[in-house]
Chains A and B, each alone.
Chain A
Amino acid sequence: MNLLRFAAALALGLVLLLGFWLATYYLLFSALSPEGQTLLQKALYERVPALLLLVLLLVGVLGLMLQPLFLGYLAASRALAREAEVILEANPKHRLRLKGPWELRELGQLINRLAERHEAREEELKARIEAAKRTLLEERNRLAALLGQLPQGVILANRLGQVVLYNPIAKGFLPGLALGKSLYGLLDRHLLVHALEAPGLPFRLEDFRLQALKLEEAGGGFVLMLTQPEAEQDLGALFRQLRARTGALRSLAEVLPRVPPAEQGPFLALLRQEAERLAELLRQEEAPRREAQSLKALALALARALEDRLGFAPGLDVSEETYVAVDRAALLQALGPLAREAEGFYIQGRPWKGLARLELFPVAQVPPAFLQAVSQQGGEAWLEGERLVLLLPSLAEPPAPASRAGERPPTFDLRLLEPPDRELLQRPLRSLLYTAFDLETTGLDPERDSIIAIGAVRLLGDRLLEESFEALADPGRPIPIAATQIHDLTWEDLQGKPRLEEVLPQFYRFQEETLLLAHNGAFDLAFLQKAGQRQGLAFRGPLLDTLLLGQVLFPEAPSHSLEALCTRFGVPVLGRHTALGDTLMTAEVFCRMLPLLEGRGLVTLGQTLEAMGKTPLARLRYA
């Protein structure tokens, strides 16, 4: 480009010069008599070689004069503009390298000073925004805590059925749940429509009950509530069991008198068995609903309940952790006026002989209701001097995450509430869901080499979501040293990992309904498509490639490697050449590219793909 302009300027200079000469010649020529004209013509024709030499000399001089102007001033000022744009749009800490002619250096200095000042303002603004954000975050956390504590699973979806919010319990019921994913892929469409037509009426599904509620406001989405099927639902089953057991007992009892004593053996054995089954059935039903929890959590709850009554916080000491299953609410309710008037009150807890032991002191006497509640929970309590000892059966292992899931916040992104209806290509880059990913392979040939690691994260516009994917796959054969030198993975590391046939479908589901994003993605996509073909999984483009986007944004930059882009954008380079490490870097780079792309008028996916396709590398590789 620069070269072309340089040549054009040279040609223009030449034309001007020649024009001047020709005009002079014409004026001179027309003023002369015919003899003079003949003389002049002759003199000129004789000196044609010398004149041509002169023209060449002039071109050379002109070139020498223009060269620093174009390749120095113009190219340098273009580079200056690009660099300045980086400061403005992507990395305020970036500073211009001062080189080229002194005028430009001075300009660069000025821009750097401006950037300095701009950065200071930005910092100040950022601090203010941070403060506002903190307030907002507190509100958000309160909402999240509320949702997290709900005993039901909650899913909020927009009117297209895309998931906007969900809490961990909902994820427990529907493991495939992810932000932006369509509910229609997770639940039967007819069922959803039915549930929406009968709001408030719970639908019994295999693993849970589903209740749907249409939202008239907020763009017309809907809320789903998922609950465990209630105990009453199983009452019918219980009755059937009871009938069957008593039926057997009755038949056996009635037949026994008719059986001679010598033949009664098998009947008596069945009778005993039936009696035991009945007893077991009743034991199950009698068991109160106890929640698995840590001893620490129980002690803390006791301390809080006592604090209200004592007016001060009891001392708490649970050094070693163990887990118990108790109905905490029933226990707290029965606690009553336990503490005596005292300066202090203490609660100690520890594992003891395979049980959980809590000691509360000083205690004068134990309310009978408390003893009863403890014994109902399968525990025992007694007074040792001033110490109330509480023994509870200890659980073999900590409660499963699902039962503690309530303490974790829900996942949401409210921007999904307003789904754009437009065609994919018309949609702004900011509104799209991406799966940034990277592969490690055993080599460079998709036909022969295979994928051994996949890392991926999901993004909504320029926001990284907390949904990631990481998997290693056993290639089933040794990995060439050349490949190991890049990613440090040897066959020994991968033996015992699942095969790609297992991993690939998982990744396929992870990236479904999103746009793929990768650095030098043509390579990775080729591998994915080849491997997918063998398993009947179609990995579809379009794919956004940060390598090509780098070319769109910085055509003059000498390198568009992931490291170079990271350095430019101030993205820390961590864990290079692990699939997830590279993926995270690609994602961060893309987030910072977004405003720059928008600054270039590349707002929609269609515009961006078009610009990407025009880069020289794309024409080389995607052709």
Chain B
Amino acid sequence: MARILIVEDEASIRLPLEYILRQEGHQVAWAESGEEGLRLAERLQPELVLLDLMLPGLDGFEVLQQLKARQKPPRVLILSARGREVERAKGLALGAEAYLVKPFGLEEMLAEVRRLLE
């Protein structure tokens, strides 16, 4: 069981993730914007952040950079519709542990989560 933070502005993506991660037994919190995500991450100290890139306000890449700049950075799994080679490379270069391009399967996502929490 782990503390997981989902930063995703679209309910239609967030809700299934949240549901299935809770089923897996994790403690799940979520934020709808980059700023809110950073605040929650500060307060909850999650082990893993599922991060969308196209967020209102602060851009996902910036959120990633700020998360990774902390003393105990959480692991970050990017979930994004931005699937170009360069975008994936940038995400990983900025410190994300994994990058899933939408549309992804829930099992695929769970496998990544499990791998990252090991």
Contact = CB atoms under 8 A, between A and B. Distances in A.
A252 B12 contact: yes
B19 A259 contact: yes
Contacts of A254: 16, 105-107
Interface string A242-265: 111011111110110011000000
A244 B14 CA distance: 12
Interface string A315-338: 000000000000000000000000
Nearest to B19: A255
Nearest to A247: B102
B23 interface: yes
Contact of A255 (B10, B83, B104, B106): B106
B15 A267 contact: yes
B81 A244 contact: yes
A218 to B, nearest CB: 42
Nearest to A259: B19
A266 interface: yes
A126 interface: no
Contacts of A258: 19-20, 23
A274 interface: yes
By secondary structure, the A interface counts as helix
B12 A243 contact: no
Interface in B62-100: 79, 81-84
A48 B102 CA distance: 127
B102 A244 contact: yes
Contacts, number: 71
B2 interface: no
B90 to A, nearest CB: 15
B83 A248 contact: no
A15 to B, nearest CB: 97
Nearest to B13: A248
A240 B54 contact: yes
Contacts of A252: 12, 15-16
B83 A243 contact: yes
B101 interface: yes
A329 to B, nearest CB: 35
A254 B107 CA distance: 9
B16 A244 contact: no
Nearest to A274: B12
Contacts of B79: 247
A273 interface: yes
Contact of A244 (B13, B17, B107): B13
Interface residues of B, number: 23
Nearest to B17: A251
Contacts of B104: 247, 250-251
B11 interface: yes
A461 to B, nearest CB: 53
A270 interface: yes
A403 interface: no
B57 interface: no
A255 B20 contact: yes
A250 to B, nearest CB: 4
Interface string B1-35: 00000000011110111011001000000000000
Contacts of B20: 255, 258
Contact of A247 (B13, B15, B19): B13
A266 B11 CA distance: 10
Given A240-B81, A255-B19, A258-B23, A248 B10 contact: yes
A252 B102 CA distance: 13
Contact of A243 (B19, B81, B106): B81
A567 interface: no
Given A240-B54, A240-B82, A248 B101 contact: no
A249 B10 CA distance: 12
Contacts of B107: 254
Q: Which of A242, A249, A254 has the most CB of B within 10 A?
A: A254
A236 B10 CA distance: 20
Interface in B49-68: 54
Contacts of A241: 81
A251 B23 contact: no
Contact of B103 (A236, A250, A270, A271): A250
Nearest to A272: B12
Interface in A531-581: none
Contacts of A274: 12
A271 to B, nearest CB: 8
A246 B10 CA distance: 13
Given A240-B82, A259-B19, A270 B105 contact: no
26 contacts: A236-B84, A239-B83, A240-B82, A240-B83, A242-B81, A243-B83, A243-B102, A243-B103, A244-B102, A246-B103, A247-B13, A247-B81, A247-B102, A248-B10, A248-B13, A248-B16, A248-B103, A250-B106, A251-B17, A252-B15, A254-B16, A254-B106, A258-B19, A258-B23, A259-B19, A270-B11
Given A248-B10, A258-B19, A258-B23, 11 more contacts: A239-B83, A240-B83, A243-B102, A244-B10, A244-B54, A247-B103, A251-B13, A251-B17, A252-B16, A254-B16, A267-B16
